[in-house]
Amino acid sequence: MTDGELGVVLKTTPLRESDLLVVLYTITHGRVATVARGARKSQRRFAGALQLLVLGKYQLGRRPRGDLWGLDNAEVEREWTRLASDVFAVAHASYIAELVGALLPPEQPEPHVLDLIVALWESLAEGGPSPGALRSVELALFDVAGHRPALDACAACGAIDLDAGAVFDPSRGGAVCRRCAASSRGPAIRPIDSGTLGYLRAAAAAPSPSAARALDSDPAFLPADRAAGRDAFVAMAQSLVGKPLKSLEYIAKLGAARRQP
Ligand SMILES: [Zn+2]
């Protein structure tokens, strides 16, 4: 038994012969890098809690060196591991874990982030992978990271006229009006129309990932709005992280495989 702190695993990487490097997001420390000694040989001390889709209690020990903490033991508080058989659900959960790991600074706790991750898993358990739910979690994470994308007014000049000729420019912070778009440059910039902006605003207004599931079948939005909204937010994520996200490459491969006969 442990009286450790509530958290989730963002990533595990083999370390030396028998140890595991475990990146956690915990309620009191935020993102922390820990070393689970001997975890590659026996995970008994960690009781199934060193994996994605588990809300666990993690006992951090002394910091053996630098910015690494020891991970003494762990136990499962709640789990959603039955989702592991759904590759798309795992892909969504992995993407959000990678985004949290890459977007939020180490050891700056934002308790809301743990709620968001768990809310996404709840939504996945409730009805499977949902683009609407994923957009709402992405947006909330951009917000926590201090980069809430502009969707209501031009990110550059504040004009509220985004109806014609607007673009989505991640490096300038979101939607940019036609006039300012003339000075937007780069491969990440894409046109954005009022249907797509409406869809993303609706995702932003949804009170929870589960509530945002309704956007998947809302007749107010076209499939093209959902696809363009996804592309805009994915471009935002890539731009903020500054490098390709492995989980997104995996999702793209899954999508391509599904389209094959
Ligand atoms: Zn403008």
pLDDT tens for 135-191 read 999 999 999 999 999 999 999 999 998 988 999 999 999 999 999 999 999 888 999
This prediction's pTM: 0.93
Handedness of CA 170, 172, 177, 183 (dihedral sign): negative
Distance 72 CA to ligand 1 centre (A): 53
- Burial of residue 220 (number of CB atoms within 10 Å: 0-12, 13-18, 19+): exposed
pLDDT at 64 over 70: no
Distance 146 CA to ligand 1 centre (A): 20
Distance 136 CA to ligand 1 centre (A): 25
pLDDT, position 259: 59
Q: With contact defined as beta carbons under 8 Å apart, do 132 and 225 qualify? A: no
Residue written as token pair 């007014």: 153
Cβ neighbours of residue 43 closer than 8 Å, sequence gap 6 or more: 50
C-alpha span between 99 and 66 (Å, rounded): 24
Higher pLDDT: 59 or 255? It is 59
Distance 178 CA to ligand 1 centre (A): 7
Distance 141 CA to ligand 1 centre (A): 25
pLDDT at 66 over 60: yes
Distance 176 CA to ligand 1 centre (A): 5
First CA to last CA distance, the chain:
50
Average pLDDT, rounded, for the chain: 93
pLDDT, position 186: 87
Distance 79 CA to ligand 1 centre (A): 46
Distance 145 CA to ligand 1 centre (A): 23
Distance 241 CA to ligand 1 centre (A): 25
